Structure 1
């Protein structure tokens, strides 16, 4: 029977406790969310600074761009957003995308198609980067996570003329940071370019929240607006030459309706607040430190991370699901992260701390984690 594998595969997913489902909420904020008229503490948000609850007023742009950026979709609101990012991040050019996934994947598959090209990716890179690399004609080479010696050996063995090193700035599932300055140094040593996806670093790290690459300048920098900026979409920062090339050959950009002009204006408004949000960044830093101190006091085996992402690895998916359900029954929403999003036997609760959380929230989370783990 045609397509009978669908039911078999879905059944296998359910049997392995890996089945995924969408969950609808009435309201989601950086501290609380509401589901079925029940309020939960939210420790699964990427709104790290809590900007999502701040109102945006006075926007007059239309909601829809109506067409591609290469037809009539590119408007003054997009130019204003691009110019702001170019000025703050010191790049010649900026291209806006409707999602970080699209930006990451399409840049790799369009840029790395020349013969004698090779992409060097950290093994824990986001799925969008992996998919983009696989869709390119370049050779794809993986190096062990944050292992500079392994990367160097890979580069030394490479015969490619066009080499691109790709890493996240802050890794989305582990929460640790890439050694971006060392990566830039290695790239220059081997006549390679560096591309950084700073989705989880931008807005939180660096001077005024300019991200993981505040002190360096990779040839290609990807930032997304759906995390600390509390908006949606992404931007590619690069040289004018790279931008011109992408305008000719990036099919995602060419054949997608442009970002909403209203969203571009709203994002610019949020970016201006983000740039001045040093107090929120300080509060977030304090909350992270407080969470880690309490976790250490209770011998919770967190992964080594100084970011807002604090993973608690349990190993098997069944335990993650059970602990997640226990937390929900006690007023805390924390999503289990299971394979294939993370490697086999590393299922985890991906705890995210925000500036909106209060000390009592963190204390409640720690106490419930401790009690829930005793029941596993």
Structure 2
């Protein structure tokens, strides 16, 4: 690598170290004994016997990959099964699955917005939606977090252009719920489309874990479309978009992240489908998460989130990293949010209240969290 690039990379690394923002990969083994309060396997379904058996059987039957893009030979009957059952569970006409949740967000925004459009973006949306808005080439208006009046003002200035409003049902860092009913009403008033990312709502929020969009009666609404992930509550990998059949037909023909990508792998597809069926059969799972969230939030003295993740503010990035390391040394994994992953610049520990952690391990792990954080 040339000296100019080498010097630039070295300078970037030094700046990260000085501010406590260096990130490093930390591989874990399959038999890691640590209690995982850091991941996104909210319902503990990634290792559920029915889910792993379905993933294994699909790999043996279909192969390790889909083999092609969905518009060539990469659409499997498994994809159609998952799309049909996911749409039914979440209350939409149709669904389209793809290789990641990131791809799903890129696909929906770039397929619906262009230079002649307006994208109104909540200040706290996920990086995938931020990138999607930039790639769409639309004018982007970033509004204060969950400020419905600001959204209304932005839409009023759209000047007749097609407009999208981007929000998350449950925001990933603070864990608060969006004002979905009010946002949908404003979008209907201005003939805009509300794009809601249910990544942290599916499987955790709402009745039977159907997410907040369904819970507030907006599933199938003409001005609401939903993005979701298969890698959190459903314990697999992939993303999905849900809405009308006309919307899905448009995405199949115009969404570049879908068109030019290999279809979702058989193991992930079958695993997500099996996990969805477990969730349908065991509607008590979301309530386990909820009870743990409420209990631990009270003990930590933090706000009760709408989802499965508690956000514990720390005084600095260095303090957050040190607390994370201390807990790791005690056999407990927690997450660590630091800039630029936090919208308000405050570093936090991220504690996942998973239904998949056995009760004894949960009690021990939460006691360690309380001690290390001084609560």
Q: TM-score, normalised by structure 1?
A: 0.90
Aligned partner (choices 39, 48, 60) of residue 54 of structure 1: 48
Q: For the Cα contact (< 8 Å) 1:295–1:366, is it kept in 2?
A: no
C-alpha separation between the residues in 1 aligned to 2:98 and 2:198? 15
C-alpha separation between the residues in 2 aligned to 1:267 and 1:365? 28
Aligned partner (choices 12, 15, 23) of residue 12 of structure 1: 15
Q: What is the CA RMSD across the aligned residues, in angstroms?
A: 2.0
Deviation readout 1:71-129 (Å, 9 max, x if unpaired): 111121111111112222333332111000011012212220151x1111110000000
Q: Which deviates the most, 87-96 or 179-188?
A: 87-96
Q: For the Cα contact (< 8 Å) 1:103–1:236, is it kept in 2?
A: yes
Higher helix share: 2
In structure 2, the residue matched to 1:293 is 298
Q: What are the equivalent positions in structure 2 for 1:307-322 lying under 5 Å apart?
A: 307-322=307-322
In structure 2, the residue matched to 1:272 is 277
Q: What are the equivalent positions in structure 2 for 1:103-142 lying under 5 Å apart?
A: 103-113=104-114, 115=116, 117-142=117-142
Question: What 5-or-longer segments of structure 2 have no aligned partner?
Answer: none
Q: For the Cα contact (< 8 Å) 1:121–1:166, is it kept in 2?
A: yes
In structure 2, the residue matched to 1:339 is 339
C-alpha separation between the residues in 2 aligned to 1:208 and 1:166? 25
What SS class does the counterpart of residue 240 from structure 2 fall into? Answer: strand
Shift of 1:360: 5.0
Instruction: Rate the CA distance shift 1:207–1:118 in 2: closer, same or farther, 3 A.
Output: same
Q: For the Cα contact (< 8 Å) 1:315–1:345, is it kept in 2?
A: no
What SS class does the counterpart of residue 213 from structure 1 fall into? Answer: helix
1:226 aligns with 2:228: no
1:23 aligns with 2:17: no
C-alpha separation between the residues in 2 aligned to 1:316 and 1:154? 35
C-alpha separation between the residues in 1 aligned to 2:96 and 2:287? 30
C-alpha separation between the residues in 2 aligned to 1:184 and 1:312? 31
Deviation readout 1:327-367 (Å, 9 max, x if unpaired): 12222211221111113640110111011335554554454
What SS class does the counterpart of residue 311 from structure 1 fall into? Answer: strand
C-alpha separation between the residues in 2 aligned to 1:259 and 1:276? 24
In structure 1, the residue matched to 2:148 is 148
- Give aligned pairs, total: 360
Q: Tell me: higher relative CO, structure 1 or 2? Use CA pairs within 8 A at least 6 residues apart.
A: 2
Instruction: Rate the CA distance shift 1:252–1:315 in 2: closer, same or farther, 3 A.
Output: same
Q: What are the equivalent positions in structure 2 for 1:163-312 lying under 5 Å apart?
A: 163-214=163-214, 215-217=217-219, 218=221, 219-296=224-301, 302-312=302-312
Shift of 1:325: 1.5
Q: TM-score, normalised by structure 2?
A: 0.90
Instruction: Rate the CA distance shift 1:54–1:150 in 2: closer, same or farther, 3 A.
Output: same
Shift of 1:251: 1.5
Instruction: Rate the CA distance shift 1:308–1:126 in 2: closer, same or farther, 3 A.
Output: same
Q: Which deviates the most, 60-69 or 168-177?
A: 60-69
In structure 2, the residue matched to 1:299 is none
C-alpha separation between the residues in 2 aligned to 1:366 and 1:81? 35
Q: For the Cα contact (< 8 Å) 1:197–1:221, is it kept in 2?
A: yes
What SS class does the counterpart of residue 53 from structure 1 fall into? Answer: coil
